[in-house]
Structure 1
Amino acid sequence: MPVTPSPLRYPGGKTAITPMVTSIIQANNLRTAHYVEPYAGGAGLALSLLFNNVISHIHLNDLDISIWSFWHSIINHTEEFIELINTTNVTIDEWHIQKDIQDKKESVDSLTLGFSSFFLNRTNRSGIIQKAGVIGGLEQKSKYTLDCRFNKSNLIEKIRKISSYSEFIHIYNMDAIDFIHNIEARGDRTFYCIDPPYFVKGQSLYTNFYEPNNHQDLAGVIGRIQGKWMLTYDYAEEIKQLYSNYRKFYFSLNYSAAEKKKGTELLVVSPRLRIPNSLNIQRATC
């Protein structure tokens, strides 16, 4: 598994496809375009591209207020967030406290909620904040305990690096379709990297999962985007049908939710987006 620059563990994270996306951006001369992710999640791919100077600005959106609060906090309240990391004990008692915060997220401030999201992401199985149990179980009798993914010094280093790029990172908390409309209205030169909730297992992985009609609505909006875009999905026949009029490819991705395995993902691209032959990715049949 590649080392991600993100402090978050995220189901279906796309850090591993950084080389592929880098090649696409370079082949289309998109470095100075506004790089946009309507479903930011862990944002490992976006951060990798920014840190490697492949793109100059990233626009990260997530409807989940828990995820948005994390990104907002580490960019705007970096030192306070790091102080919380340093002073918070990674224990089962603390896990219960942080879990309770998620249950009353409407009544807490963004720093408190952002840290709770971070704490649970690092201590829950597969990084799933609200739909998974704690690593090692409540009795902590497993070989792996809840602090096994909570290397404080390493995580603080990642957060400081992200903070140092804050002028190039723009954070939003909007419905993805509204966000795309908002970006389109600006008229800027834009490259969208769209990674929606999975079609098949989305409900078990994400707080804001999609029903089939939501995927269909998104397809309609993507079809009206003026700029260049790429879309990644789990490999499902229903998704292939939704995007039957576009070029599609498939690629392998390692999954770590519940069990480590390699899966096949679908890549859909806009009509004018050049895909370098050097990528050697296989065209998907319609």
Structure 2
Amino acid sequence: MRRIEEVPLFPEHWGETRPTQLINVASVPQRSPFRYPGGKTWFVPVFRRWITSLRRRPSVLVEPFAGGGIISLTAIFEDLVPQAVMVELDEEVAAVWEIILEGEAEWLANQILSFKMTKDTVLELLNSSPQTKKEKAFQTIVKNRVLRGGILAKGSSLMKRGENGKGISSRWYPKTIARRIIDISRVAHRIIFRNEDGLRVMSEFANREDVIYFIDPPYTADPQKPGKRLYKYHQIDHEALFTLCQSLRGDFLMTYNASDEVKLMASRYGFELCSIPMKTAHHKVKWELVIGRDLSWMQDCS
């Protein structure tokens, strides 16, 4: 495996390449209303470099495991693609995206701005049963901000100390979250959201050369990896995903938690792979795998 040296944050022209190094996440615009476990903010500069290395500008980006959606949002806000298709199976996460993209962003933003964050109000909200999609979206945003690590899967618990000892309110930035929601609503006409199975949606576009894919599946190919406790829908047929990628006419880029199982699959399907460093929430450096048909744009990779 070859280490990447440096990724350009803002390529000056389509197709530019430079060496890369460990990404400073603080230098990447934060566009998602979620704090998402396994989120890909740190990967944004690498994504920019890949998409600008393509021979022609793609018409559509499909993100079959969208989650917090940072890659699709980056592609749209920075005009790297005309349209993005975001796919997410989790109904709670889906409710947020649907409300933002279907004309109710202002309502959601106002709910966030007016919410009084205390342990009592949080517990009351989390113990309630949403009656509408709007209510589910608001409840999900609050849950995402007060549960440890932003984990929405069953069994996650409230933050205790939180950031700087602020407890459950330590990740609650109502003005910032509301602003991001309103900003996303302004580009909603360029985003299609689908609360469906990601592989099924990918297969619909498989014959189109002008469609590209950013694929970040739950990390469950290795039984020791954390996907099962992080995501409600963690089960995925990894072999089926690799088979589908082999059939795509458009290009794709896939990220996986580094494991021998994934390396063997990539080898069997004839894909190239490279290890890339990223810094965890606890400031530890760990390695993830980047997989694609051609990674020549990533210097010093084998």
Is the contact made by 2:295 and 2:301 (CA closer than 8 Å) also made in structure 1? no
Identity over the aligned pairs, expressed in percent? Answer: 23
What amino acid is aligned across from residue 228 of structure 1 in structure 2? D
Deviation of residue 94 (structure 1)?
A: 2.6
Q: Could you say what secondary structure the match of 1:198 adopts?
A: coil
2:216 to 183, 192, 195: 195
Instruction: Give the Cα–Cα distance (whole angstroms) in 1 for the partners of residues 85 and 279 of structure 2.
Output: 25
Normalising by structure 1, we get a TM-score of: 0.86
State whether structure 2 residue 123 is matched by structure 1 residue 96. Answer: yes
Structure 1 residue 155 corresponds to structure 2 residue 157: no
| Offset, 1:29 | 3.7
Q: Match for 1:209: what amino acid?
A: H
1:2-13 equivalences under 5 Å are 2=26, 3-13=29-39
User: Aligned partners of 1:263, 1:88: CA distance in 2, in Å?
Assistant: 37
Gaps of 5+ in 1: none
> C-alpha distance in 2, partners of 1:204/1:280?
35
Tell me what 2:78 maps to: 52
Q: 2:234 aligns with which of 183, 205, 209?
A: 209
Of 194, 198, 207, the residue aligned with 1:172 is 194
TM value normalised by structure 2: 0.82
Structure 2 unaligned regions, length at least 5: 1-24
RMSD (CA atoms): 2.1
Q: Does 1:240 align with 2:263?
A: yes
| SS of residue in 1 equivalent to 2:156 | coil
Give the residue type in structure 2 aligned to 1:94.
Answer: T
**1:282 offset after TM fit, Å?**
3.2
- For residue 48 of structure 1, report the CA deviation from its aligned partner: 1.8
What whole-Å deviation, never above 9, does each CA across 1:116-174 have from its counterpart, x for those lacking one? 1111111111111234211226xx9x813111111111111111111110111110011
Shift of residue 41 of structure 1?
0.4
CA contact (8 A) 2:206 2:247 kept: no
1:181 aligns with 2:203: yes
Residue 4 of structure 2 aligns with which residue?
none
Q: Kindly provide the amino acid, as one letter, of the partner of residue 92 in structure 1.
A: K
- Using the TM superposition, give the Cα deviation of residue 31 of structure 1 relative to its aligned residue in structure 2, in angstroms: 3.2
C-alpha change, 1:264 and 1:274, in structure 2 (3 Å) is closer
Residues 75-112 of structure 1 show CA distances to partners (whole Å, capped at 9, x for unaligned) of 221111112112222122232233335xx57xx32211
After superposition, the Cα gap between the structure-2 partners of 1:281 and 1:157, relative to the gap in structure 1 and judged at 3 Å, is: farther
Give the total of aligned pairs.
268
Deviation of residue 205 (structure 1)? Answer: 0.9
Shift of 1:39: 0.2
SS at match of 1:240: helix
Question: In structure 1, what is the Cα distance between the partners aligned to 2:230 and 2:201?
Answer: 22
The answer (yes or no) to whether the contact 1:250–1:281 under 8 Å persists in 2 is: no
Query: Does residue 87 of structure 1 match 2:108?
Result: no
What's the offset of the Cα at 1:36? 0.8
Aligned match of 2:136 in 109, 113, 117?
113
Match of 1:133 among 157, 167, 176: 157
Q: Which segment drifts farther, 70-79 or 123-132?
A: 123-132
Equivalent residues of 2:58, 2:212 under 8 A apart: no
Contact residue 99 and residue 120 of structure 1 kept, 8 A? yes
Write the letter of the residue equivalent to 1:231.
Answer: M
Task: Give yes or no for the alignment of 1:253 onto 2:274.
Answer: no
Is residue 37 from structure 1 mapped to residue 49 from structure 2 by the alignment?
Answer: no
State yes or no: 1:123 paired with 2:146.
yes
